[in-house]
Amino acid sequence: MRSFPGPALEIVERMQRAAAADPARAIAFQGSPGANSHRAATEARPDLAPLPCFSFEDALEAVKDGRAGAAIIPIENSQHGRVADIHFLLPESGLHIVGEYFMPIHHALMALGSGPFEAAYSHPQALGQSRHYLRARGIVPLSHADTAGAAAYVAERGDPSVAAIAPALAAELYGLTIIENNVEDSADNMTRFVILANEALAPAALAGKPVMTTFIFEVKNIPAALYKALGGFATNGVNMTKLESYQQGTSFAATTFYADIIGAPGDEAVDRALEECAFHSKELRILGSYEQGRTRG
């Protein structure tokens, strides 16, 4: 709680009380009220009470501890790529992906003063998505835990020479003036969120729907291991829409991969492809099968 800026604390406490009244119908998100994840939570699950958490780890822990029935986490942005650390946090959490949500992202420059501004605070993702805008105006980007938290911090600091980059809602919540809307460098800026829960979706809940499956695997440290692990998806006609690598530990001897495919276990082609991938891997773990939030292919 003390990690949230002062202007956000009253709103955070009010939202936490509402979530605590019915934890099963709460959805945890990372950030202060007014953050993009807050907006994603209310749009993707309007029937649930949004629960603000300071960090991604806190949001995931809220589900594991029973303080929320679900969490919504951003995993990638069309302009700035992977959200840092999320590929480590999802497998470690033990939670299951039960949905996805795509949300257009628009940032506003907001402040107490009218400018010029020496610096702007925001989450590193938002700063990266607005880097050309900031550079053209000589504004120094300064990292903050989340976008709306940056707006609350600017309000708390009371310095008219600094600004925040955050959703327009944050200006309303924390008494800032919007200097300019849509300061993101790309008009089609989009973030993909995943929704996580303690229990995986039952296959019957996905019957007849376009489905995605997300999994991680670590290939064996032998020549052509990745080629062989992926071969089954090609031969069985399973479309892999995402494949990212990342290192775990300090040996750098083997690589873990994070992948999305169209389809789910129970489909014969998917089962054969996953079986072949597992044969050529040291470990394969499914993180979840869920309905597509946007049609692929």
Who's near 37: CB < 8 A, 6+ residues apart? 29, 30, 31, 72, 73, 74, 146, 193
For residue 55, the tally of other CB atoms under 10 A from its CB is: 15
Shared domain for 65 and 152, answered yes or no, is: no
As given in the structure block, the two tokens for residue 190 are 């989009």
Is 297 part of a structural domain of the chain? Answer: no
Shared domain for 82 and 146, answered yes or no, is: no
Is 296 part of a structural domain of the chain? Answer: no
pLDDT value of residue 187: 85
pLDDT confidence of 202, banded at 50, 70, 90? very high
pTM: 0.91
Q: At what angle do helices 225-235 and 268-279 cross, to 10 degrees?
A: 170
Shared domain for 93 and 130, answered yes or no, is: no
Shared domain for 152 and 87, answered yes or no, is: no
d(CA 225, CA 277) in angstroms, rounded, equals 9
- What is the Cα Rg of the chain in Å? 21
Is 223 part of a structural domain of the chain? Answer: yes
pLDDT confidence of 2, banded at 50, 70, 90? low
pLDDT value of residue 252: 66
Shared domain for 116 and 162, answered yes or no, is: yes
Is 185 part of a structural domain of the chain? Answer: no
Looking at the predicted structure, is the pLDDT value of residue 86 above 80?
no
Shared domain for 96 and 116, answered yes or no, is: no
pLDDT confidence of 82, banded at 50, 70, 90? confident
d(CA 99, CA 268) in angstroms, rounded, equals 23
Could you give the 3-state DSSP secondary structure of residue 250?
A: coil
For residue 20, the tally of other CB atoms under 10 A from its CB is: 13
Look at the chain and report how many structural domains it folds into.
3
d(CA 186, CA 69) in angstroms, rounded, equals 34
Is 212 part of a structural domain of the chain? Answer: yes
pLDDT value of residue 288: 97
pLDDT value of residue 150: 97
For residue 265, say if its preceding peptide bond is cis, omega within 30 degrees of 0. no
Write the CATH number for 279: 3.30.70.260
Contact 260, 198 (CB under 8 A): no
Shared domain for 60 and 78, answered yes or no, is: yes
Residues 221-248: what's their mean pLDDT?
Answer: 93
Shared domain for 117 and 97, answered yes or no, is: no
Last residue of a domain, one of 153, 170, 197: 197
Looking at the predicted structure, is the pLDDT value of residue 192 above 60?
yes
d(CA 104, CA 239) in angstroms, rounded, equals 25
Q: At what angle do helices 147-157 and 6-21 cross, to 10 degrees?
A: 140
Shared domain for 119 and 152, answered yes or no, is: yes
- Tokens 């790309």 found at: 186
Domain that residue 251 falls in: 206-291
pLDDT value of residue 1: 47
Write the CATH number for 132: 3.40.190.10
Q: Which amino acid is at 42?
A: T
pLDDT value of residue 50: 98
Residues 242-249: what's their mean pLDDT?
Answer: 84
Residues acting as catalytic residues: 191, 193
Q: What percent of the chain has pLDDT over 90?
A: 84
Is 1 part of a structural domain of the chain? Answer: no
> Is the CA virtual torsion 295, 213, 80, 31 positive or negative?
positive
pLDDT value of residue 250: 64
